[in-house]
Structure 1
Amino acid sequence: MEITPLVWGITIAVTIAFFVYEFFAHVRKPHEPSIGESARWSAFYIGLALIFGVVIGLIPGWGWVYSGEYFAGYLTEKALSIDNLFVFLIVMTGFAVPKKYQQKVLMIGIVIALIMRGAFIAVGAALIENFSWIFYVFGALLLFLAYRQAFAHGESDPANGKFMQFVRRILPVSDEYNGDKLTVKKAGKRFVTPMLLVIIAIGFVDLIFAVDSIPAIYGLTNEAYIVFTANAFALMGLRQLYFLIGGLLERLVYLAQGLAVILAFIGVKLVLHAMHVNELPFINGGEPMLWAPEIPIWFSLLFIAATIVVATVASLAKTRRDRDRELDAGAPTSTPSPAETKEHR
């Protein structure tokens, strides 16, 4: 897949233009978007992502194999981004961010995520180009992340975790928000507002998710251009999706397990590919293990899509059963808090 510097330049420029438009058209003036506005823009960005995948298949020299890799990568990154949204929800709940300012926080968080993923993409491409053994490392990392996603209970409240406690110790923090300002001056002394702490927490979360995201998509394609565009399209419209499915996020109780299955699958795929391109002298005498099966991209695409569907349906079925059980017992129904739901997951 040949990508000229001109194509790269146009792609990056268009991506930046979309985010600039988002800021000036929707985010600059604080407000809580309506369901209708969120639905329209979510549909627009998802439709745009799907059209781009078809375009990849139609361009001579690119073709449907790369199109399949893009769609598999896009689905994986979108699923990981929704999990990212859940943590954003926990952060903003923990910091009690007013709803009319949540758009700005989300926008900044998404831009930070794109920048971090862009850096990881460049590093990953360089490593793959020069060191074939990196596929072993990526595969092992994804298997570890899959285990952590499925079984390890992380920090349930990033707003009050150890990292944020450290930040509060080194920065003078005011007790209340001052509009969407990041700093405020009181009695001649400069304080940071909780808004800045929220952005720091979001940036820290983005760094962690970039570690999950980039090895996962490099398990589906070696093309840096596909990795970048799949990530960019997965992040576009994420702000609107947050407001559209905010209530649904808390019902996706099996999302973590579904993502764990996807990460483990891609981890195995990476290890099998590493065996095919093996050059490590202490493994099979430095010779490729061509007998190892290669998982085709069409199977990866179907497996990832099916896993997302099963995790979503199972989550909604469980929350409905739990609600019906509460009704049968005569107990008042309640929606779990984001932190409680994350702990369950």
Structure 2
Amino acid sequence: MNVSLTGWVLSAAVLCVLVAIDFFIGRRPHDVSVKEAGVWSAVWIALALAFGVGLWAVAGGGPAGEFFAGYITEKSLSVDNLFVFVLIMAKFAVPSQYQQRVLMVGVIMALVLRAAFIAAGAAIISTFSWVFYLFGAFLIWTAWKLVQDARKGGHDEEYEENKLLKTIERRLGVADRYHGTKLWIEENGKRVMTPMLVVMLAIGSTDVLFALDSIPAIYGLTQDPYIVFTANAFALMGLRQLYFLIGGLLKRLVHLSYGLSIILGFIGVKLVLHALHESGVHVPEIGIPFSLGFIVLVLAVTTVTSLRASKKQARERSEEQGTGV
């Protein structure tokens, strides 16, 4: 899809306005209710659907199908990322009224990082077609790793700070408590970070790791940088509200990692087939309609089986407690 510079600028401007609105909504520290999170989650999803329909009207079913496939994939990967966000919030004991500010800054950092990754990916793909082999192999390996992690019991129960974050904390110093939404304070004549800034850096550093999975995944569905960027942007925009809406539901999605591994493995195979086709090898390619249907089906089945499994586990625990085991 050929998008003019004007189209890019207008799209970026609209997205910036949406980010500003989201930031304005969450500027005042407060506990986010399920109702508030539900309403705004519905708004962001409706905006994504409206954009996809508009894309269909302007550019046709092909680009629109690529957008919806990319959006759903990125959204599902974002739900998996929320597990890590929950662990980070618990690790640093972030007060509930400040959590949405942390998430808002994390979303903005993710948008900036992914924009850079998307630009780099587009430049590499346009120059080296063999990079699809690398993307495909990476996604298949990631899928296998997700399965292995799921078999070991899923996500770790505690977030471990990376070496870079520990080094920054050691060099700059960290205050012993939160000071509202302040990022820096004066303590004993020295300027030090607050725990709020440390949490934001932790979220930002994990955003880089998340992009390593999501960008190759969406490039397996479309090579159009405009669709890649807009699908990522809309998927990230409702992430803050989604955190508060399904925070209690996350632990019940016990099969999510398996579903994501199937999707990533599928896209990895799709990328390898595309790379072979580009190299002149006559192999079948997987179309967007099939890809979109497959992704939706896997997520639907995963959600249903997860809820059934978690309900069964809860019933078994209740019976054990009732019998005094």
TM-score normalised over the length of structure 1: 0.89
Which of 317, 329, 342 is equivalent to 2:308? 317
Report the equivalent of 1:174. 175
CA contact (8 A) 1:95 1:159 kept: no
Cα distance in 1, alignment partners of residues 130 and 212 from structure 2: 18
- What are the ranges of 5 or more consecutive residues in structure 2 without an aligned counterpart? none
CA contact (8 A) 1:159 1:198 kept: no
CA contact (8 A) 2:69 2:295 kept: yes
Which of 90, 93, 97 is equivalent to 2:90? 93
Which SS does the other structure have where 1:259 is aligned?
helix
Per-residue CA deviations over 1:12-37 (Å, capped at 9, x if unaligned) read: 0111111111112x221111122211
Cα distance in 2, alignment partners of residues 165 and 225 from structure 1: 36
Matches within 5 A, 1:224-303: 224-278=225-279, 288-290=280-282, 292-303=283-294
What number of residue pairs does the alignment pair up?
A: 319
Report the equivalent of 1:5. 5
Cα distance in 2, alignment partners of residues 119 and 97 from structure 1: 29
In the TM superposition, what is the alpha-carbon distance from 1:163 to its structure 2 partner?
A: 4.7
Cα distance in 2, alignment partners of residues 302 and 141 from structure 1: 23
CA RMSD, Structure 1 to Structure 2 (Å): 1.6
Report the equivalent of 2:117. 120
Report the equivalent of 2:28. 29
Per-residue CA deviations over 1:198-251 (Å, capped at 9, x if unaligned) read: 011101110000000100000001111110111111011211111111101121
Letter of the 2:308 counterpart: A
Report the equivalent of 1:49. 48
- What are the ranges of 5 or more consecutive residues in structure 1 without an aligned counterpart? 279-287, 333-345
Structure 1 range deviating more: 265-274 or 304-313 = 304-313
In the TM superposition, what is the alpha-carbon distance from 1:162 to its structure 2 partner?
A: 4.5
Cα distance in 2, alignment partners of residues 150 and 182 from structure 1: 38
TM-score normalised over the length of structure 2: 0.94
In the TM superposition, what is the alpha-carbon distance from 1:159 to its structure 2 partner?
A: 4.6
Q: Percent identity?
A: 51
Report the equivalent of 1:327. 318
Q: Structure 1 residues 84 and 201, CA, compared in 2 at 3 Å: closer, same or farther?
A: same
Runs of 4+ in 1 over 6 A off after TM superposition: none
Cα distance in 2, alignment partners of residues 163 and 309 from structure 1: 38
Cα distance in 2, alignment partners of residues 258 and 162 from structure 1: 31
Cα distance in 2, alignment partners of residues 27 and 200 from structure 1: 19
CA contact (8 A) 1:158 1:164 kept: no
Cα distance in 1, alignment partners of residues 268 and 109 from structure 2: 26
In the TM superposition, what is the alpha-carbon distance from 1:136 to its structure 2 partner?
A: 0.6
In the TM superposition, what is the alpha-carbon distance from 1:160 to its structure 2 partner?
A: 4.2
Report the equivalent of 1:104. 101
CA contact (8 A) 1:53 1:71 kept: yes
